[in-house]
Structure 1
Amino acid sequence: MKILAMDMGKSKTVVCYFDSVKGTHRYETISTEPAKVHNIIVGFEAQRVVIEIGPAAGWVCDICKGLGVEVEVANTNHDAWRWKNVKKKGDREDALKLAKLSAAGDLPLVHVPKKDVRQKRSLIAYRQSLLKRRIAITNNIRAIFDREGMVMYSGDKAWNKAGLKYLESEAREPGACKVEELWRGELFIELAQLVSVKDAIEQIEGKLDEIGKTDRGTQILMSVPGIGPRLSEAMNAAIDDASRFDNGKQVGSYFGLTPRRYQSGSTDRQGKISGCGNKLARSMLIQVGWLGLRYSAWMRRIYERAMGGSKSRKKIAIVAVARHLAVLCWVLLKEDRMWQVRNAA
């Protein structure tokens, strides 16, 4: 089999032309451009393309799909890919290792979704980055008032109409501030950024809502009591093709909601959750789990059962709720049906 393995960098890519039948290989360095990659795939008449997961993985997979060429994307976080006790490691060694592991069928793979799903994932992640910016700005504003020994509204009251009006009354354009009141200029800039970020969040959420109205998977998950549009779209995009999971255990493991395990001889210990997979989806599952304790009877039942009457097991119990939520989302997407009361745990 002719295998084209590429170690892709931001500006250059090391290509390994590997023939598994003859056992020969050679290298070439090209610029990381779609046109260049397309040409070497066609020129080599590759039967399989192998790359590491990274920013370029999406468009490389699109090129291979268009050409009808098999593509494998390596999971570089997997233990099998870690370099240990090696005297030499470089781009060529990486590319050759990709080719050899692929030829032997030992390459740990990662799922790369279609372009439209990747775009949705990117937009969801961008919204989260905007939320973090908003938090950073509000924290900076509070820090300014603390530094000046001034008091502002507490909690959410600081950001309602009355609270923002008060902040605006204290702000001044930097050019109009005296040296003793430069903090007012800082406040003016921070408030302008806060308005800008809020507007951006509204635009992104508006687009996500528009997409969700015509997205079957999002609508299915929104039918579950306690699951809103933000978690629905995130879980739908993260799961993508529900048929790629065989059971609920794989789903829980994919979202990093299963415990770490160390087993050797008579020793068998379980630790904290693995934390693998989609961090954003996992954190949203946990957040929805906490909120669900107030409003969802079935989430409350799972939580109390996992607690076992011990308050020290609160975190363990909420992870159990999040894992049940993840599995429930997968089941509904796999069976392509809306929530029914009998689904409750």
Structure 2
Amino acid sequence: MSQKLDASPAVIGIDIGKNSFHIIGQNQRGGIVLRQKWSRGQVETRLANLPPCLIGMEACVGAHHLSRKLQTLGHDARLMPAKYVRPYSKGQKNDFRDAEAIAEAVQRPTMKFVATKTADQLDLQALHRVRERLVGQRTGVINHIRAFLLERGIAVRQGLRSLRSELPGILATRTDVLSPRMLRIIEDLAGDWRRLDERIEDLSSEIEALARQDKGCERLMTVPGIGPIISSAMVAAIGTGDVFSKGRDFGAWLGLVPKQISTGDRTILGKISRRGNRYLRALFVQAAWVVLVKVKGWERYGLKSWIEAAKKRLHHNVLAIALANKLARIAWAVLNKGRAFECVNTEETASRAA
């Protein structure tokens, strides 16, 4: 019986590639009993013939799909950030060594895992990725237009709306400094801008419609400053938030807390760590600025008192980050506990520093 247990893998590490997968299997004693290279089509078939075991993978492209498939086969599939796997690699780097490091890392009791995303989460995340790319392209087009106008001595006020409203008049009246070729170039860029606006609007409408249909997103939208874009991005990123034990962990994962470099009895805190999901962190910071601009509208939530107290000791940029962290922690609690945000006692809420 002991020989059979030693011969069958209890833990498997998979190094995912585009067309080939490198497999390392360890028995209950940690010995390597499986060391093979499989094609993409062989992975599910061969793992279906093995008894249920713990399977580790790095959270990379295609990992969420494979994790869901392996879970349906009865395996305990877990995903890990690649940076947490790297310390377990020994010797020279190759695919089998990477798979062995994954098998070692997945057994660690203190390992931080990545929740497997559902197909709906991946679809929603894809919408946000495309929208983010289009917004970046639109910013590039606008910067091109501004730069070309400045080269001709034409300065436009800051803000997207200012440029949009003034550009037609500039193209019609400033032919004294704008050559026919430059007019054509800027008109083409303005056309690109309009097309990007239309695509961004279509994607935003689709995301908003999906957010209205999701119960988690609806609860998140009860939090001040959070609308369809932020709520759907958060659900796409963390699902129900079960991977975090408390809101403070979620705020730290987003990189909204100071970077700590402490030793001995000295506690040294620096700038925010900026780790985790950059896109979601930026959205929460934007939400914080919205609340700061319209702080009077959030009096019933106790935020005004908290903000007024924080203003006395924090720079306005630091205050925005602190408020973003506060909103992120509230949002995690709303999402994870399954209850809409309510503030029963504003005075009590204002006295808390969360």
Q: TM-score, normalised by structure 2?
A: 0.82
Query: What does residue 139 of structure 1 align with?
Result: 143
Is the counterpart of residue 19 in structure 1 residue 21 in structure 2? no
Cα gap change, 1:129 to 1:315, in 2 (>3 Å): same
Query: What does residue 81 of structure 1 align with?
Result: 86
Query: What does residue 4 of structure 1 align with?
Result: 12
- The alpha-carbon deviation at position 218 of structure 1 amounts to 1.4
Query: What does residue 272 of structure 1 align with?
Result: 271
Cα gap change, 1:131 to 1:48, in 2 (>3 Å): same
- 1:1-345 to structure 2, matched below 5 A, reads 1-21=9-29, 23-31=31-39, 33=40, 35-45=41-51, 47-78=53-84, 81-82=86-87, 87-103=91-107, 105=109, 107-150=111-154, 155-160=159-164, 162-163=165-166, 165-166=168-169, 181-295=180-294, 296-297=298-299, 298-307=302-311, 309-310=312-313, 313-342=315-344, 345=349
Question: 1:177-199 CA distances to partner (integer Å, 9 max, x unpaired)?
Answer: xxx74433432432232222111
Cα gap change, 1:343 to 1:224, in 2 (>3 Å): farther
Question: 1:14-65 CA distances to partner (integer Å, 9 max, x unpaired)?
Answer: 222333347123432334x3x3321232244452221111011111112112
- The alpha-carbon deviation at position 124 of structure 1 amounts to 1.9
Query: What does residue 3 of structure 2 align with?
Result: none
CA distance in 2, matches of 1:228, 1:61: 31
- The alpha-carbon deviation at position 326 of structure 1 amounts to 1.0
- The alpha-carbon deviation at position 100 of structure 1 amounts to 2.4
- The alpha-carbon deviation at position 248 of structure 1 amounts to 2.5
CA distance in 2, matches of 1:22, 1:232: 43
SS of match in other structure, 2:292: helix
SS of match in other structure, 2:225: coil
Moved over 6 A (4+): none
Matched AA of 2:64? G
SS of match in other structure, 1:256: coil
Contact kept in structure 2, 1:153 and 1:163, CA below 8 Å: no
SS of match in other structure, 2:268: strand
Cα gap change, 1:324 to 1:158, in 2 (>3 Å): closer
CA distance in 2, matches of 1:299, 1:11: 52
- The alpha-carbon deviation at position 226 of structure 1 amounts to 3.0
- The alpha-carbon deviation at position 117 of structure 1 amounts to 1.5
Contact kept in structure 1, 2:241 and 2:332, CA below 8 Å: yes
Contact kept in structure 1, 2:292 and 2:320, CA below 8 Å: no
Matched AA of 1:334? N
SS of match in other structure, 1:25: strand
Contact kept in structure 1, 2:13 and 2:100, CA below 8 Å: yes
SS of match in other structure, 1:264: coil
Alpha-carbon RMSD: 2.8
CA distance in 2, matches of 1:134, 1:212: 24
Query: What does residue 174 of structure 1 align with?
Result: none
Matched AA of 1:165? P
CA distance in 2, matches of 1:169, 1:16: 68
- The alpha-carbon deviation at position 77 of structure 1 amounts to 2.6
Question: 1:154-176 CA distances to partner (integer Å, 9 max, x unpaired)?
Answer: 6344444x545347759xxxxxx
Count of aligned pairs: 330
Contact kept in structure 2, 1:293 and 1:299, CA below 8 Å: no
CA distance in 2, matches of 1:9, 1:39: 17
CA distance in 1, matches of 2:219, 2:139: 31
CA distance in 2, matches of 1:157, 1:102: 51
Contact kept in structure 2, 1:304 and 1:317, CA below 8 Å: no
Q: Does 238-247 or 317-326 show the bigger shift?
A: 238-247
